[in-house]
Amino acid sequence: MSVTQATSQTGAETPRQVSLVDCDIHPTLTMPELQKRVSERWRRHLERFGRRTPMITEFYPRTANAGFRLDSWPEGPGGFPGSDLGLLQTQLLDEFDIDYGILNSLGLLNCHEVPELAAEMARALNDWMVEWMDEEPRLLGAMVVPYEYPDLAVKEIERCAGDPRWVQLIFPDSAEDPLGSRKYWPIYEAATGHGLPVAVHTAGYWPHLDTGWPSYYLEEHVANSMRMQSQLTNFICEGTFRQFPDMRLVLTEAGVAWAVPLTWSLDSAWEQLRDDSPPIDRRPSEIVREHVWFTTQPIEEPDTPEEFAQMIAHAGLEDRLLFATDYPHWDFDSPAQALPRSLGPELRQKILAGNAAELYGLPLAPPE
Amino acid sequence: MIDCDVHCAPATLEALGPYLSDYWREYTTTAGIRLLGMASAYPPNAPTTGDPAPDSYDALREQVLEPFAPRLVILNCLTLCEAHRNPHYQAALASALNDWLIAEFLDRDERLRASLVVSTVDTDDALSEVERLGGDPRFVQVLMPIRADTPFGNRRFHRLYASAAERGMAIGLHAWGRAGHSPTTTGYTLSYVEDYLANQVIAQTHVLSLVSEGVFETIPRLRVALLECGFAWLPSLLWRFDKDWKGVWREVPWVKERPSSYVRRHFRATTAPAHLPPGNEGSTRELLEMVGTELLMHASDFPHQHGPSAAATYELLSDEAREAVLDANAAEFYAFAR
């Protein structure tokens, strides 16, 4: 990190030179802590009935260290990887000299709850992340919203959007309806109106509606990229970007190389079938290049590293890749090692910081 | 009195340690797997859940055998029905649970019987378990939780049913099962109450499937128990089923009799939950008449709590019918000595 100038202490006074941005950090608000932060009515509900959607780890156990970096478990009782700010600062932000890290909470993404509870959970998670951002100025947040209830989600956006540390919204990649659907448009309208990109992160109800349920975590984890391909195709076919010309979409933790053959197939199908889907008003690859970003972790690793660079160049996605560590998960990508050497120093630096700085408007203006 | 549905479950995975291989002990330990006690089916603090299911013979004796003094008890262990999908783990866990049932319960009291736990993701694994332990007459049926990947009449299950029937075992369709699917044909549910009530609709799907696929023509000895699925829905289902069959039987020529006659011959249902109109004796009597008390088998469903409906139902029965529901119907169905 030779070009790093920023230090964590400067914050308000000195404009930062941004040289490393981590676009996917997972903080965890544990259940007892969540229960403290919702109203008595819904605390009682959580105690009596729990959450109605099983966690993905219940379907597909991660066979080592429960799926987390072994060193990410906080000491002491009740801790969980990602629940301790001090440990996150030491192991991640300080260790790699990260200028900005985006908190992508998965706390509401695996839930399908009644509207009032979903809204309270979103509010609790957002308020808790604000506490962390107050304490640690290197942290930025992905706003959690009760996405299955667009009216309530818009309310939460309006409540939070004045704080510039919220740099995006977060959605799961498997929700009740495909994400390009009109059902979710009011949320995209509000987010785009506030200049907030929409991140879609691998998570959700995991219904495996295509072929049924796979057997192993190996299949499930590889399949994350397939689910994202379906979502991206859906956004294009439903005309979501035509409706919201300023919408920016960040596909998170699903890899990137698949996007290249996908845009080829979208283009070639569109040539022949454009009459079938009027919302696709121009070449899909152009739509993708204009509206879509990809986080790197878990980055594809071909045996011949040059092939990754070639693939990215084919689709002209050099400006669209955002570095991510996925801390504290087991497949953490180290900023020092993860990006293929074949990308060259200039492109590597864009991926490590420049693209994110441009997308999210970093460095943030110092607070008034 | 025969109690056809009493639950038991190991409190932790450690209790199954002696019955798991080194590989699975390590797998469960390093993956941090815990038994969640079917928390989505029985949320620990929901009013319907009751106390934790007995995890030892001593607990069962104290909580069920001594207070209720049943002549025989059928134990249903639903521990397998967590969400996980790995078929090898399913098979290993099913075998471990059966070995645990034998050592902890069946070997310790002559009054105890159990449903055989089998894989719910792979029929060959389920078949192997029937072949391994189905010769033990204390395993009276194969446990098939109804939240499943496929309707139970599907051909993939026929060899399992044939093997069970050959050994004199019934099939026990029990409420709940695999998490992850939408519980209803119309999509996800938000509330526990909707999930809870979905069981009686899913049970109807399996009844429809078993009859329509001709399972009882292929395997005439097969018997099916509906456990914790209710029964008040039977008359209306059978009216419609019979009527439609009369119209379109040519599509399914292997269904040779009216669907209701297969159901009446091959199926029995346990009494809890009953979900009958509270305080309306007239309607309850009429409903029982329509169902036919000869189809009903007593179950406490211990430790679950479904309200006063079942107890109120017993008060309306004649002495003869009550005796049949409490004991004789199950004795005949499972071929227990009288």
Mutating which of A58, A111, A174 best tests the B interface, going by the most B Cβ atoms within 10 A? A58
Give contacts of B188 with chain A, Cβ < 8 Å: 112, 176, 205
Of residues A281, A273, A195, A268, the one with CA closest to residue A242:
A281
Q: ∠ at Cα A90 (A86, A95), nearest 5°?
A: 160
Q: Is the pLDDT of residue B2 over 60?
A: yes
Give contacts of B28 with chain A, Cβ < 8 Å: 61
pLDDT at A1: 35
Q: Is the pLDDT of residue B307 over 60?
A: yes
Task: Kindly write down the DSSP assignment for every residue of B117-157, as one continuous string.
Answer: E--SS-HHHHHHHHHHHTTSTTEEEEEEEEE-SS-TTSGGG
Domain-embedded: residue A3? no
pLDDT at A15: 53
Query: Does the beta carbon of A65 lie under 8 angstroms from any beta carbon of chain B?
Result: yes
Q: Pick B141 or B47 by higher pLDDT.
A: B141
Asked whether the beta carbons of residue A212 and residue B149 sit closer than 8 angstroms, the reply is yes
Verdict on whether the full-model pTM lies above 0.90: no
pLDDT at A14: 52
CA B332 centroid distance within chain: 17
Asked whether the beta carbons of residue A59 and residue B180 sit closer than 8 angstroms, the reply is yes
Domain-embedded: residue A231? yes
Give contacts of B85 with chain A, Cβ < 8 Å: 59-60, 213-216
DSSP A68: B
pLDDT at B39: 79
Of residues B140, B308, B304, the one with CA closest to residue B225:
B140
Residues with Cβ within 8 Å of residue A97, at least 6 apart in sequence:
A1, A4, A6, A20
Residue A297 in contact with residue A324, Cβ under 8 Å?
yes
Q: Is the pLDDT of residue A9 over 60?
A: no
Q: Among A52, A66, A212, select the one facing B190 at the smallest CB separation.
A: A52
pLDDT at B52: 93
Residue A154 tokens read as 């818009």
With 0-12 CB in 10 A as exposed, 13-18 as middle and 19+ as buried, what is B153?
buried
Domain-embedded: residue A204? yes
Closest-CA residue of B relative to A148 is: B190
Q: Is the pLDDT of residue A356 over 80?
A: yes
Q: Is the peptide bond before A328 cis (omega within 30 degrees of 0)?
A: yes
Across A238-261, average pLDDT = 95
Query: Does the beta carbon of A63 lie under 8 angstroms from any beta carbon of chain B?
Result: yes
Domain-embedded: residue A87? yes
Of residues B28, B6, B260, the one with CA closest to residue B112:
B6
Q: Is the pLDDT of residue A149 over 90?
A: yes
Distance, in Å, from the CA atom of A277 to the CA atom of A270, rounded to the nearest integer, reads 9
Other CB atoms within 10 A of residue A173 CB: 23
> pLDDT over 90 for what percent of chain B?
78
Q: Among B28, B30, B189, select the one facing A64 at the smallest CB separation.
A: B30
Domain-embedded: residue A226? yes
Asked whether the beta carbons of residue A65 and residue B190 sit closer than 8 angstroms, the reply is no
Of the listed ranges A92-106, A228-242, A330-344, B199-213, the least confidently predicted one is A330-344
Q: Tens of pLDDT along B97-114?
A: 999 999 999 999 999 999
Question: Can you tell me whether residue B42 is helix, strand or coil?
Answer: coil
Closest-CA residue of B relative to A330 is: B31
Asked whether the beta carbons of residue A66 and residue B84 sit closer than 8 angstroms, the reply is no
Residue B179 in contact with residue A57, Cβ under 8 Å?
no
Domain-embedded: residue A367? no
Across A88-104, average pLDDT = 97
Distance, in Å, from the CA atom of A22 to the CA atom of A352, rounded to the nearest integer, reads 8
Distance, in Å, from the CA atom of B116 to the CA atom of B78, rounded to the nearest integer, reads 10
pLDDT at B151: 92
CA A278 centroid distance within chain: 29
Residue B298 in contact with residue B325, Cβ under 8 Å?
yes
Q: Is the pLDDT of residue A7 over 80?
A: no
Q: At what angle do helices B192-212 and B259-266 cross, to 10 degrees?
A: 110
How far apart, in Å, are the Cα atoms of B326 and each of A303, B51, B67, B314, B329? 69, 24, 16, 9, 7
Of the listed ranges A28-32, A279-283, B289-293, the least confidently predicted one is A279-283
pLDDT at B35: 85
- Looking at CATH, the fold of the domain delimited by B2-333 is given as TIM Barrel (3.20.20)
Asked whether the beta carbons of residue A112 and residue B33 sit closer than 8 angstroms, the reply is no
Mean pLDDT for chain A overall: 90
Query: Does the beta carbon of A314 lie under 8 angstroms from any beta carbon of chain B?
Result: no
In this structure, which amino acid lies at residue B238? L
Distance, in Å, from the CA atom of A158 to the CA atom of A336, rounded to the nearest integer, reads 38
Residue B144 in contact with residue B207, Cβ under 8 Å?
no
Long-range contact set of residues B321-329: C-beta below 8 Å, sequence gap at least 24 = B321/B293, B324/B293, B324/B294, B325/B271, B325/B293, B325/B296, B325/B297, B325/B298, B326/B1, B326/B2, B326/B298, B327/B1, B327/B2, B327/B71, B327/B298, B329/B268, B329/B293, B329/B294, B329/B295, B329/B296, B329/B297
Closest-CA residue of A relative to B82 is: A58
CA B267 centroid distance within chain: 12
Distance, in Å, from the CA atom of A186 to the CA atom of B305, rounded to the nearest integer, reads 43
Whichever domain contains A347, its CATH number is 3.20.20.140
pLDDT band, very low/low/confident/very high, at A16 (cuts 50, 70, 90): low
Across A132-160, average pLDDT = 98
Asked whether the beta carbons of residue B182 and residue A207 sit closer than 8 angstroms, the reply is yes
Q: Of how many residues is chain B composed?
A: 338
Give contacts of A52 with chain B, Cβ < 8 Å: 40, 189-192, 195
Query: Does the beta carbon of A177 lie under 8 angstroms from any beta carbon of chain B?
Result: no
Q: Among A64, A205, A216, select the one facing B188 at the smallest CB separation.
A: A205
Q: Among B39, B45, B149, select the one facing A47 at the smallest CB separation.
A: B45
Question: Can you tell me whether residue B237 is helix, strand or coil?
Answer: helix
Give contacts of A70 with chain B, Cβ < 8 Å: none
> pLDDT over 90 for what percent of chain A?
64
Q: Is the pLDDT of residue A5 over 70?
A: no
Asked whether the beta carbons of residue A59 and residue B87 sit closer than 8 angstroms, the reply is no
Instruction: Give the closest-approach CA distance of B87 to chain A in angstroms.
Output: 7
Scored b (16 or more CB within 10 A) or e, A199-224 reads bbbbbbbbbbeeeebbbbbeebbebb
Q: Is the pLDDT of residue A111 over 90?
A: no
Largest CA distance in chain B: 59
Q: Is the pLDDT of residue B147 over 50?
A: yes
Q: Tens of pLDDT along A254-272?
A: 999 999 999 999 998 998 8
Its domain, for residue A35, covers: 21-360
Domain tally, chain A: 1
Q: Pick A223 or A239 by higher pLDDT.
A: A239
